[in-house]
Amino acid sequence: MADPIRVAVTGAAGQIAYSMLFRLASGEIFGKDRPVELKLLEIPPAMKALEGVVMELHDCAFPTLTNVVATDNPEVAFDGVNWALLVGSRPRGPGMERADLIKVNGPIFVGQGKALNKAAKDVRILVVGNPCNTNCLIAMNNSEVPKDRFHAMMSLDQNRARSMLAAKAGVTLKQVTNVVIWGNHSNNQYPDFENARINGQPVPQVIKDQAWLQDTFVKDVQNRGAAVIKARGASSAASAANAALNVVTNLITPTPAGDWFSSAICSKGEYGVDKGLIFGYPLTSPGDATCRIVEGLSMSAWAKGKFDNVLNELRSERDVVKDLLG
């Protein structure tokens, strides 16, 4: 058997984790021959509930799951991990924006950023807890882990956009490729239909309804999280867990030639974004957990307006948390 892969999940007794842990443990993500050790972090009041989750993990008798650690200490949770999936934090309720969570959730990522120094040298970090781009910025700035290891989750938005485009065009999901969500996981994100493709053709050549693309599609993707909260009375959980696992898979599998995936990473100035912001970009990976930004995509003046708007939003969020940036 290969060496175990060690995966930390925070907020492990929460809704998203409940849809994520069993898939991580089952061999679905890292392979049926790769042992998995789970390191589960919670806050003290949730440790009892976490005990129940650990019992259920054992009760699945997954041959790949070789060890489970449950702790309320971030340093224990992150010690030696190859992946850290940072979910633990408060979800928003109806009528709130994700940015309204900054004051309550932001401070969590100061201590967790520092504790990530205990992780394995090859660690990759995905921040899911909202507002995830700015929480990721906080964690990254409080950590000695190299900046290129940090991601904030845009994959749920990418999945939503692909699914809506496929439904509108009457095609299968596989036929919709090259979807990038620029910027922030917020209601100002820009889901780029101009560079997206259906059967290899630019989406506007297939879906000729420009008003639907510019208005309905963009707004529906931007506001899908709020729509789920309104309908379900709680924020998305299974689809969020699925999207987080998609990020891991996207990084450990070579990206199909010509395609890309969406994730928010630390900008080095690409597309004119301020260096150091955690910005949603189109990425490719050779499958070794590294990634690179696809450069040179063009945008119409209309799209550039959307792009600048979300960039300004991330700048404002950075200003709000400036005291937490180490």
Q: Which residues of the chain form contacts with ligand LMR (CB under 6 A)?
A: 91-92, 98, 130, 156, 225-226, 228-229, 235-236, 240
Instruction: Report the C-alpha gap between 305 and 176 in whole angstroms.
Output: 24
Instruction: Report the C-alpha gap between 193 and 174 in whole angstroms.
Output: 16
Tokens (6 digits) for 118: 């205990």
To ligand LMR, the closest distance from the beta carbon of 73 in angstroms equals: 27
Q: Does 19 bind ligand NAD (CB under 6 A)?
A: no
To ligand NAD, the closest distance from the beta carbon of 198 in angstroms equals: 24
Instruction: Report the C-alpha gap between 162 and 303 in whole angstroms.
Output: 18
To ligand NAD, the closest distance from the beta carbon of 210 in angstroms equals: 28
User: b/e map of 39-57 (b: 16 or more CB within 10 Å)?
Assistant: bbbbeeebeeebeebbeeb
Looking at the Cβ atoms of 60 and 234, the one nearer to ligand NAD is 234
Cα distances from 88 to residues 151, 188, 197, 303, 315, in angstroms, run 15, 23, 35, 34, 24
21 contact, one of ligand NAD, ligand LMR, none, CB 5-8 Å limit per kind: none
- List all residues 6 or more positions away from 326 whose beta carbon is below 8 Å from its beta carbon: 110, 113, 141, 142
Q: Does 224 bind ligand NAD (CB under 6 A)?
A: no
Looking at the Cβ atoms of 91 and 282, the one nearer to ligand LMR is 91
Cis check for the bond before 204: say yes or no (omega within 30 of 0). no
φ/ψ region of 5 (left if φ > 0, alpha if ψ in -120 to 50, else beta) reads beta
In contact, 321 and 137? CB cutoff 8 Å: yes
Q: Does 92 bind ligand NAD (CB under 6 A)?
A: yes
Looking at the Cβ atoms of 18 and 47, the one nearer to ligand LMR is 18
Which of 64, 71, 82, 130 is in the footprint of ligand NAD by CB under 6 A?
130
Which of 9, 123, 137, 153 is in the footprint of ligand NAD by CB under 6 A?
153
Instruction: Report the C-alpha gap between 117 and 145 in whole angstroms.
Output: 6
> One symbol per residue from 25 to 44: x for binding ligand NAD (CB under 6 A), - otherwise; what is it?
----------------xxx-
Cα distances from 163 to residues 16, 38, 155, 216, 234, in angstroms, run 21, 31, 12, 14, 21
To ligand LMR, the closest distance from the beta carbon of 164 in angstroms equals: 14
228 contact, one of ligand NAD, ligand LMR, none, CB 5-8 Å limit per kind: ligand LMR
Say which of 98, 168, 185, 318 is annotated catalytic. 185
Is 185 designated active site? yes
To ligand LMR, the closest distance from the beta carbon of 265 in angstroms equals: 18
Looking at the Cβ atoms of 123 and 207, the one nearer to ligand NAD is 123
To ligand NAD, the closest distance from the beta carbon of 181 in angstroms equals: 10
| Burial of 110 (C-beta count, 10 Å sphere; 0-12/13-18/19+) | buried
| Burial of 76 (C-beta count, 10 Å sphere; 0-12/13-18/19+) | middle
129 contact, one of ligand LMR, ligand NAD, none, CB 5-8 Å limit per kind: ligand NAD
- Report the interface residues with ligand NAD, using CB under 6 A: 10-11, 13-16, 41-43, 46, 87-92, 108, 128-130, 132, 153, 156, 185, 235-237, 240
Provide the annotated active-site residues: 185
